Amino acid sequence: MRTFEYLKPASLKEALELLGRHGEKAKLVAGGTDLMVQWKKKIISPEYVISLRNVPELSFVTYESDLKIGSATTHRSLELSPVIREHFPILLDAVSNLGSVQVRNSATIGGNICNAAPSADTAPPLLALDAVVHMAGPQGERAVPIAEFFKGPSRTVLASGEIVTHFSIARPSPNTGMAYWKHTRRKAMDLPILGVAVLLSFGPDGKTCTKARIGLGVAAPTPMRARKAEAFLEGKAIDRAVLDEAGKTAAAEASPRTTIRGSQWYREEMIRVLVRRTGMICMERAKGAAQG
Amino acid sequence: MRRTIRFTVNGDPVEVEVQPHWPLLRVLRDELELTGAKMGCGEGECGACTVLVDGKPINSCIYPALEAEGKQVLTIEGLVSPDNELHPIQQAFLEKAGVQCGFCTPGMIMSAKALLDMNPNPTEDEVRHALAGNFCRCTGYVQIVESVRHAAELLSKNTKRTGTGE
């Protein structure tokens, strides 16, 4: 009979030991909303499945000097987290329209990132927030900026025996607006045709952009930053026309493919439109944040 | 390879032998003969298998049975009162014709239960957001949304009458 051994470590230490012992024969699973389906379809057949659901160190949200999110935190707990709702609307945009309530009660942010799908909804916001990915492994702990984490579709810098433990995100400066636009055919249970995350910080005049970040999903083999468009925006007074120009630059930097969800030319056009549209939301939200 | 797990289903403690790859749905339907939760897509897309684990709705077709160990599982069978009276959400689905073929209904009702436990008076948008992971292939969504909002009214009347609400 086709089956596997299901291991339930109760601590990170135990999880690392099990992963070290079983190596390539093992797969880590958090919510299992991707892994269990891949197993059923016989895409993967690990001998050991190591569940991270019962590792308390991996499931938390804290907001002190910075925001820290444990890798096994479910999308649903992020959606309901007062910290995320109040301070990180860009993450709320991403997690509240991912899958369904049922999926979000199982699926985790670490799973979403480690699967490294070009369409991962939490990737563009984490890119726009300059998130740092923290990992633990046989050689100890290390951290990389999320922009360096993805190596290709389904490929990351995670080495054998390593587990992503958490993400850390610096507090945004005052006068910052941030938003994620998930472009889909229907509101729920869909993967994005494009995912566009924009973060804009403004100077004391409320107009001059001091920092711009643009994270794009489904725009290249991995989630990516549109660095030229970011550089174009920084130092400028932001308005619709400037955002439109940034959108054109971002579209030129991207390399989307033609797939069943959308063609290359359509995606390029929509990157321009959505960078502008999401940038406009950032301006509104920055104003709201300044007034609030 | 079989392992014994213990958990609570609809308030009753159970002990079952399971294979490590079995989803919770298989245990509920084939081992415990609770066939209210349905096997639809088997991939966590359609929500026909929705049950509550520790009060939270999940797709039991992809939820590992071994993760249910020590937890409280609530299925549609657990909503009926001990004297066999329908739960107000079930009553509302009957009164507002929220049921057509009935296949999606147990999942719809369990998602509605989780919503109303958290938010006793949801807007139409909130109902749609909460039920987005439950597909009705008869496409009777309008009546389903009406049923959930009617259930909210029935539940608030019950609370007022019995005074058990908080």
- Eight-class DSSP state of A236: S
Residue A51 has pLDDT above 80, yes or no: yes
For A138, other C-beta atoms within 10 Å of its C-beta total 12
Of A78, A88, A94, A85, the residue nearest A195 (C-alpha)? A94
Alpha helices per DSSP H over chain B: 24-26, 88-95, 105-118, 124-130, 141-162
Q: What integer pLDDT is reported at residue B161 of this predicted model?
A: 60
pTM for this predicted structure = 0.95
Of A159, A152, A81, A156, the residue nearest A111 (C-alpha)? A156
Q: H or E segment at A233?
A: helix A227-233
Q: Which residues of B touch A (CB under 8 A)?
A: 1, 19-21, 23, 42-45, 47, 50, 56-59, 62-64, 66-67, 69, 111, 114, 129-130, 132-134
ipTM of this predicted structure: 0.94
Residue A48 sits at the chain B interface (C-beta within 8 Å):
no
* Mean per-residue pLDDT, A165-188: 94
Residue A213 has pLDDT above 60, yes or no: yes
Residue B165 banded pLDDT, cuts 50, 70, 90: very low
Q: What integer pLDDT is reported at residue B166 of this predicted model?
A: 40
Task: Give contacts of A33 with chain B, Cβ < 8 Å.
Answer: 44, 59, 62
CA distance B90 to B8: 22
For A90, other C-beta atoms within 10 Å of its C-beta total 30
B97 φ/ψ sector (left φ>0, alpha ψ -120 to 50, else beta): left
Residue A189 sits at the chain B interface (C-beta within 8 Å):
yes
In the block, which residue shows the tokens 């269990």?
A36
Q: What integer pLDDT is reported at residue B1 of this predicted model?
A: 78
Share above pLDDT 70 across residues of chain A, in percent, rounded to a whole number: 99
Share above pLDDT 70 across residues of chain B, in percent, rounded to a whole number: 96
Q: How many residues does chain B have?
A: 166
Answer with the residue of higher pLDDT: A187 or A72: A72
Q: What integer pLDDT is reported at residue B162 of this predicted model?
A: 59
